[in-house]
């Protein structure tokens, strides 16, 4: 009998099989089925949250089936406080991405197939409790995203898709090498390979643990992305269709942070040794992304570099190796995903009306698009981490966690916040205050367009005013994660 997690995982895959049998000359039916499948997956994830016990740090609703007893690999699924918030985020953003995106002009069936297969891969990464299974799902996400960029992307889509594949495959090689290195140390095959690797790491010399963690850091760091491994993100983000851009920034980057959190708990000695390096990479990425975002006139490019900066903040929370740091990292991930998704949806809606994503082509939009302007203003305020939004709570958590360990270095976080606020205020000014002569009349948002962006904006504000449900969801697991990192070496 299929368990609850398997039902959640395999629904997008079954939905893609259903699309295969539908006629390609009925695009409205294809879109309706794809949206229906993602809505069902979202409803299943809500049901999963209702059954989840946040006080229990152990894996819950686990499913296990041995695949290869000799190697220890298994079909092993489970959820905890690290994966549960990200699962909800994944299903919500996939549903919103399909709702907000316009129907492609060509190959409609293939487009929706790729979206559903991408959701299948992302859910697999977050549910897998076996490293072989984790690695397989990690690679599955590569193929649909490659086709989404290369077939339905912008004018430079081919270069962007090839860059994405090259960087991702390079990271996968380093991840695989680290997994193979861990597997050499007295694996116990009584459980899944993830459990076995966790036990084998305790017998590995510390120096080798450091090298293994560096391999994982390269593998996950490319997707995170950390400086200077970020080169694939701006072109992929800019050239990808809006639905794919939402999932790249909203979910795929968070998958890398999630994987890094899992690895640090397995290699605590190496994590403590490399902690200064993690902090340095986080600060560099944070400031580098903000400075480049400041220079952009292309709105989608600005969101790409904003993502690099915000993921630096996420890495900063992770590098604290503390419960407060984990809470700050999870809140930063949720805040960034909701904010960037809202910005991308609104940018796409504006681009459909003006055929431009450049800030200089707009002006005085509040007069002609008041509903769009309200949602865009709140989204930009959320990107500034102003009070009343989830980003503000995440920012306070990050500052508190960082100050406790690194003291005066918090000034770099403040500098980053000032730079971010400066260029976002400039964007507000150009969008709503500056005059644009000879601008054609623009239609305001229709009800369905408001629904997609409104859900994201409402989530940012509601969670900003009441973040306790998110913190409670991960509290037990965050305490357990910190215990693993601070446990004495054998």
Copy the structure tokens of residue 140. 């599955």
Copy the structure tokens of residue 145. 């995203």
Instruction: Confirm if 341 and 246 have CB atoms less than 8 A apart.
Output: yes
Q: Coil, strand or helix: which one is 141?
A: coil
Mean pLDDT, rounded, of the chain: 86
Q: What are phi and psi of 62, to 5 degrees?
A: -65, 150
Copy the structure tokens of residue 30. 């294809």
63 part of a folded domain = no
How far is the C-alpha of 454 from the C-alpha of 461, rounded, in Å? Answer: 11
> Would you give the DSSP letter of residue 322?
S
The closest alpha carbon to 80, from 24, 5, 18, 150, belongs to 5
How far is the C-alpha of 103 from the C-alpha of 162, rounded, in Å? Answer: 24
148 part of a folded domain = no
> Would you give the DSSP letter of residue 298?
B
Predicted pLDDT of residue 299: 87
- Of 190-194, 198-202, 297-301, 404-408, highest mean pLDDT: 297-301
**pLDDT digit string (tens) for 313-341?**
999 989 888 888 888 889 999 999 999 99
**pLDDT digit string (tens) for 126-171?**
999 888 899 999 999 999 999 999 999 888 989 999 999 999 999 9
Res 217 pLDDT > 90 = yes
The closest alpha carbon to 5, from 36, 49, 54, belongs to 49
Confidence of residue 193 (pLDDT cuts 50, 70, 90): low
The closest alpha carbon to 309, from 389, 232, 225, 385, belongs to 225
Copy the structure tokens of residue 196. 């076995």
Q: Is the dihedral of CA 301, 258, 280, 329 positive or negative?
A: positive
**pLDDT digit string (tens) for 268-289?**
889 999 999 999 999 999 999 9
Find tokens 């560099």 and name the residue. Answer: 284
Q: Coil, strand or helix: which one is 70?
A: coil
Predicted pLDDT of residue 97: 92
Copy the structure tokens of residue 95. 């549903």
Instruction: Confirm if 274 and 213 have CB atoms less than 8 A apart.
Output: yes
**pLDDT digit string (tens) for 335-367?**
999 999 999 999 988 888 887 777 776 777 878
Res 301 pLDDT > 80 = yes
108-127 vs 142-152: helix axis angle to the nearest 10?
150
CB-based burial of residue 151 (10 Å sphere; 0-12 exposed, 13-18 middle, 19+ buried)?
middle
- Helix ranges, 52-156 (H): 83-100, 108-127, 131-140, 142-152
Q: Coil, strand or helix: which one is 358?
A: strand
201 part of a folded domain = no
Instruction: Confirm if 282 and 313 have CB atoms less than 8 A apart.
Output: yes
Q: Coil, strand or helix: which one is 73?
A: strand
Instruction: Confirm if 248 and 340 have CB atoms less than 8 A apart.
Output: no
Res 84 pLDDT > 60 = yes
Domains in the chain: how many in total? 1
Spatial neighbors of 267 by CB under 8 A, at least 6 apart, are: 201, 209, 212, 213, 216
Strands 60-68 and 73-79: antiparallel
7 part of a folded domain = no
> For 50-64, 312-326, 407-421, 435-449, which range has the lowest pLDDT when averaged over its residues?
435-449
429 part of a folded domain = yes
26 part of a folded domain = no
Q: Coil, strand or helix: which one is 77?
A: strand
Q: Coil, strand or helix: which one is 224?
A: coil
222 part of a folded domain = no
Res 201 pLDDT > 90 = no
Res 95 pLDDT > 80 = yes
Q: How confident is the model over 81-85, as a mean pLDDT?
A: 90
Domain that includes residue 428, residue range: 274-490
Spatial neighbors of 166 by CB under 8 A, at least 6 apart, are: 232
Find tokens 């898709």 and name the residue. Answer: 161
359 part of a folded domain = yes
How far is the C-alpha of 405 from the C-alpha of 425, rounded, in Å? Answer: 32
> For 85-89, 138-142, 198-202, 204-208, which range has the lowest pLDDT when averaged over its residues?
198-202
How far is the C-alpha of 482 from the C-alpha of 485, rounded, in Å? Answer: 5
Predicted pLDDT of residue 72: 63
Q: Is the dihedral of CA 313, 316, 321, 322 positive or negative?
A: negative
The full DSSP string for 96-113 is HHHHHSPPPSS-HHHHHH
How far is the C-alpha of 284 from the C-alpha of 271, rounded, in Å? Answer: 19
């Amino acid at each position: 009998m299929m368990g609850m997690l398997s039902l959640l995982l395999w629904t997008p895959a079954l939905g893609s099989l259903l699309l295969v049998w539908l006629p390609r000359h009925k695009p409205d039916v294809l879109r309706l089925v794809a949206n229906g499948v993602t809505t069902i997956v979202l409803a299943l994830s809500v049901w999963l949250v209702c059954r989840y016990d946040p006080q229990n740090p152990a894996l819950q609703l686990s499913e296990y089936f041995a695949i290869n007893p000799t190697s220890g690999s298994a079909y092993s699924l489970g959820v905890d406080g690290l994966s549960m918030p990200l699962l909800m985020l994944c299903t919500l953003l996939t549903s919103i991405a399909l709702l907000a995106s316009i129907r492609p002009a060509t190959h409609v069936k293939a487009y929706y197939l790729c979206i559903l297969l991408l959701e299948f891969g992302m859910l697999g990464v977050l549910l897998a409790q076996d490293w072989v299974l984790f690695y397989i799902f990690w690679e599955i996400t590569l193929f649909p995203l490659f086709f989404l960029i290369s077939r339905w992307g912008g004018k430079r889509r081919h270069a962007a898709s090839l860059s994405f594949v090259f960087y991702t495959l390079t990271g996968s090689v380093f991840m695989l090498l680290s997994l193979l290195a861990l597997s050499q140390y007295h694996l116990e095959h009584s459980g899944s390979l993830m459990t076995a690797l966790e036990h084998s790491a305790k017998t590995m010399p510390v120096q080798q643990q450091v090298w293994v963690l560096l391999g994982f850091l390269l593998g996950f760091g490319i997707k995170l992305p950390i400086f200077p491994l970020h080169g694939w993100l701006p072109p992929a983000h800019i050239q990808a269709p809006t639905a794919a851009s939402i999932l790249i920034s909203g979910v795929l980057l968070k998958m890398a942070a999630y994987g890094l959190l899992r690895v640090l708990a397995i290699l605590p000695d190496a994590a403590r040794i490399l902690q200064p390096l993690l902090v340095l990479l986080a600060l560099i990425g944070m400031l580098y992304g903000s400075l480049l975002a400041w220079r952009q006139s292309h709105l989608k490019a600005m969101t790409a570099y904003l993502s690099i900066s915000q993921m630096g903040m996420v890495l900063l929370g992770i590098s604290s190796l503390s419960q407060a740091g984990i809470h700050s990292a999870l809140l930063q991930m949720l805040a960034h995903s909701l904010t960037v998704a809202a910005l991308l949806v609104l940018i796409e809606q504006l681009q459909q009306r003006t055929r431009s994503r450049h800030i200089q082509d707009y002006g005085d939009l509040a007069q002609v698009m008041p509903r769009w302007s309200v949602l865009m203003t709140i989204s930009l305020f959320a990107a500034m981490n102003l009070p009343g939004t989830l980003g503000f709570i995440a920012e306070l958590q990050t500052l508190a966690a960082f100050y406790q360990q690194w003291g005066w270095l918090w000034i770099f976080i403040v500098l980053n916040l000032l730079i971010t606020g400066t260029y976002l205020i400039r964007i507000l000014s150009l969008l709503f205050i500056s005059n644009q002569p000879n601008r054609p009349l623009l239609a305001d948002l229709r009800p369905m367009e408001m629904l997609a962006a409104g859900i994201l904006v409402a989530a940012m504000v509601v969670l900003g005013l009441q973040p306790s449900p998110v913190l409670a969801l991960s509290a037990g697991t965050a305490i357990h994660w910190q215990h693993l990192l601070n446990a004495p070496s054998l």
